[in-house]
């Protein structure tokens, strides 16, 4: 039955490409998605599925009931875009100024719609059910996953899978990973309040720029001297704002950045040391500071059994030579919330193809991927459903 479903998916490729390109031309930012979930819901209804909209806010779920009773597999894709100007020269370039699909969520959506269509054609052979989760707002903390879960999208679900296309992985290849795969991602902000003055008389001011510079330098040392070297962590200051003129010492500056970790111990140590460094630097210089630390998505930690299921299925689809174990990825993903609730696995499919200039990194203005990745992700979803429902009773 898998081969029949594969054929249905392949026959739908042109339509899926058209859907992907339509979404690419009319992208919508996190928490502002209106057109996209409507398109998704209409398509799923046409497949004969039980569709719910407004799940957790702007999410869409659809239930496919197999002909025989059994467990329920959930498949998830995200559909939000990013505040980036599309600089590609392609017919499907974004038509919305300053917004584009620069991370592949349009590909994810098309692949999951394709899997839904294909599986709906063979539902009489399914021993169980499939829950399709189309999630809004993955790109912006707090994200849509947590809200959709709280609204019940994982109720009665036994296992959950998700896929992400990568522009630095050749098309036709797959990455899997047992246990930790993607990092937890947090945000910090440090407001330094000094005393402004003229640049020619720094002795009459309490310079928040100088203090901030010391904080930046010291923060960069946290991972080298405060975190176990076998426990990967990244602490990066990404912005330094507040100065307005070349010869004016400002009253206040703001630093902000991100922390990426895998263990809760490293996460807590990073927060503790950021606070300690900022407070000590400001206190010693006669300034004040306000440190805000916001916990973002937890680490994506795959269930080992389900990650190995991905590996075995991937080997059958693309061959052993085209599937490999992922290294730890410092990017974050709110799929982490799903695998904290249910057993499951996240995996990557390749989308890189130099022949069509699909080589730029994620979140780049010229980001693009090979649309054949739609088929590979769809086939993986189809086979994961059949394998789990047939072998997990």
Give yes or no for a contact between 78 and 138, defined as CB atoms under 8 angstroms apart. yes
> Rounded distance, CA 365 to CA 129, Å?
39
* Angle formed by the axes of helices 372-391 and 13-25, nearest 10°: 120
Cβ atoms of 134 and 60 closer than 8 Å: yes
Q: Which helix (H) or strand (E) holds 268?
A: helix 264-285
Q: How many CB atoms lie within 10 A of CB 378?
A: 31
Taking residue 325's Cβ as centre, other Cβ atoms within 10 Å add up to 11
Q: How far apart are CA 14 and CA 350, in angstroms?
A: 19
Tokens (6 digits) for 31: 């928490």
SS3 378: helix
Q: Are 280 and 288 in contact (CB under 8 A)?
A: no
Strand partners for 50: 63
Query: Tokens 């189809």 label which residue?
Result: 382
| Alpha carbon distance 303, 142 (integer Å) | 23
- Cα separation, 393 vs 390, whole angstroms: 7
Name the active-site residue from 33, 80, 106, 139.
80
Question: Is position 371 annotated as part of the catalytic site?
Answer: no
C-alpha–C-alpha distance, residues 364 and 47, integer Å: 34
Q: Rounded to an integer, what distance in angstroms lies between the CA atom of residue 251 and that of residue 192?
A: 8
Using alpha carbons, select from 27, 84, 80, 7 the residue that is nearest to residue 365: 84
Catalytic residue list contains 138: yes
Residues 6+ apart with CB under 8 A from 371: 17, 20, 107, 110
Active-site annotation holder among 138, 158, 271, 334: 138
- Annotated catalytic residues are 80, 138
């Amino acid at each position: 039955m898998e081969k029949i479903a594969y054929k249905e998916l392949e026959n739908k490729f042109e339509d899926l490409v058209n859907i992907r390109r339509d979404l690419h031309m009319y992208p919508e930012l996190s928490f502002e998605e209106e057109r996209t979930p409507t398109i998704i819901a209409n398509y799923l209804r046409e497949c004969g599925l039980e569709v719910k909209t407004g799940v957790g806010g702007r999410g869409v779920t659809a239930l496919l009931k197999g002909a025989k009773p059994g467990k329920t597999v959930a498949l998830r894709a995200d559909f939000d875009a990013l505040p980036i100007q599309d600089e590609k020269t392609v017919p499907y370039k974004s038509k919305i100024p300053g917004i584009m699909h620069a991370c592949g969520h349009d590909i994810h959506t098309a692949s999951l719609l394709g899997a839904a269509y294909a599986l709906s054609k063979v539902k009489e052979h399914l021993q169980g059910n499939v829950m399709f989760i189309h999630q809004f707002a993955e790109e912006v903390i707090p994200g849509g996953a947590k809200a959709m879960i709280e609204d019940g999208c994982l109720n009665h679900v036994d296992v959950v899978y998700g896929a992400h296309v990568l522009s630095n992985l050749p098309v036709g290849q797959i990455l899997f990973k047992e246990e930790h795969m993607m990092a937890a991602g947090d945000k910090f902000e440090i407001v330094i309040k000094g005393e402004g003055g003229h640049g020619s008389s720094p002795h009459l001011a309490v310079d928040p720029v100088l203090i901030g510079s010391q904080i930046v330098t010291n923060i960069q040392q946290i991972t080298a001297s405060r975190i176990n070297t076998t426990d990967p962590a990244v602490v990066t200051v990404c912005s330094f704002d507040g100065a307005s003129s070349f010869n004016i010492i400002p009253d206040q500056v703001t630093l902000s950045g991100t922390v990426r970790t895998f263990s809760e111990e490293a996460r807590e140590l990073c927060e503790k040391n950021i606070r300690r460094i900022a407070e000590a630097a400001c206190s010693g210089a006669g300034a004040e500071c306000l440190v805000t630390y916001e916990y973002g998505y937890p680490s994506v930690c795959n269930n080992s059994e389900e990650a190995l299921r991905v590996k075995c299925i991937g080997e059958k689809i693309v061959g052993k030579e085209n599937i490999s174990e992922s290294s730890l990825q410092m990017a974050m993903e709110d799929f982490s919330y799903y695998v904290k609730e249910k057993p499951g696995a996240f995996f990557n499919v390749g989308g890189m193809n130099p022949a069509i200039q699909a080589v730029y990194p994620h979140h780049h203005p010229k980001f693009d991927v090979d649309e054949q990745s739609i088929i590979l992700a769809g086939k993986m979803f189809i086979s994961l459903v059949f394998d789990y429902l047939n072998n997990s009773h």
